[in-house]
A and B are shown apart, each in its own frame.
Chain A
Amino acid sequence: DQQVKQNSPSLSVQEGRISILNCDYTNSMFDYFLWYKKYPAEGPTFLISISSIKDKNEDGRFTVFLNKSAKHLSLHIVPSQPGDSAVYFCAASAAYKYIFGTGTRLKVLA
């Protein structure tokens, strides 16, 4: 039973447009949410996070939105750049434990 789901395995977006990656979770005990980016042959790298007491966190081109009532979070990348092409994992945390989704492969087309 997957507690964190990324239902879109892949997404293609034109350079300069907005990329929206989605993530759903089932456990209301999660109090912290993160997005990681992963390039081939590298480990995941931390991108942005949000606490459950907030509904939005912004860092440059990246914004994470949290809708607790819907148990849904999303990552917006504006504007998208070819270098953003990677696999994006969302993760939900309760204490030390991260539960990851299966990832969404983003391809930004030049």
Chain B
Amino acid sequence: DAGVIQSPRHEVTEMGQEVTLRCKPISGHNSLFWYRQTMMRGLELLIYFNNNVPIDDSGMPEDRFSAKMPNASFSTLKIQPSEPRDSAVYFCASSFPERERTETQYFGPGTRLLVL
């Protein structure tokens, strides 16, 4: 199993530019999560999808952030326009609660975003 795949691994962009982060969850997992990690706030949940449907987007910081899951094997997190305070590591995670007793979430390697 390849695990959760994220791309790009690193992204450097200038303020005002659009940024798109990509995630491929583990095959068969029906829940997908986007997190942001910063030094001050640790790991924060941005949005949660179940069966490709957004269930909880209360963690999305602003309208500049949007996320989609067009199918079970792909999700994007878009920031437009990007700002320096968006600089962080963004993680995608997936799980399959109905099968896994422990509801374990499996994380991808993350995308390190730097907005100049």
Given contacts A96-B31, A97-B56, contact A46 B106 (CB under 8 A): yes
B4 contact set on A, CB distance < 8 A: 43
Interchain CB contact (< 8 A) of A44 among B48, B50, B97, B107: B107
Does chain B have a CB within 8 A of A93? Answer: yes
Does chain A have a CB within 8 A of B70? Answer: no
Complex alpha-carbon distance, A97 and B42, angstroms = 15
Which of A10-18, A65-73, A100-108 lies at the binding interface?
Answer: A100-108
Instruction: Give the shortest distance, in Å, between B69 (CB) and chain A (any CB).
Output: 15
B50 contact set on A, CB distance < 8 A: 96
Cβ contact within 8 Å between B107 and A45: yes
Interface range, A side: 20 to 34
Cβ contact within 8 Å between A96 and B42: no
Majority SS at the chain A contact face? strand
B43 contact set on A, CB distance < 8 A: 44, 89, 91, 100, 103
Query: Which chain A residues in 47-87 approach chain B with CB under 8 Å?
Result: 49
Cβ contact within 8 Å between B109 and A42: yes
Cβ contact within 8 Å between B55 and A96: yes
Interface range, B side: 20 to 34
Does chain A have a CB within 8 A of B99? Answer: no
Does chain A have a CB within 8 A of B71? Answer: no
Complex alpha-carbon distance, A102 and B44, angstroms = 9
Task: Bits for B38-71, please: 1 = Cβ < 8 Å to A, else 0.
Answer: 0001111100101000011000000000000000
Given contacts A42-B109, A46-B105, contact A97 B45 (CB under 8 A): yes
Complex alpha-carbon distance, A13 and B43, angstroms = 25
18 interchain pairs, CB-CB under 8 A:
A32-B103, A34-B104, A36-B107, A42-B110, A43-B4, A44-B107, A45-B107, A46-B102, A49-B104, A89-B43, A93-B103, A96-B48, A96-B55, A96-B56, A98-B33, A98-B105, A99-B45, A100-B42
What are the 4 closest A-B residue pairs judged by CB atoms, nearest first?
A43-B107, A102-B42, A100-B43, A44-B107
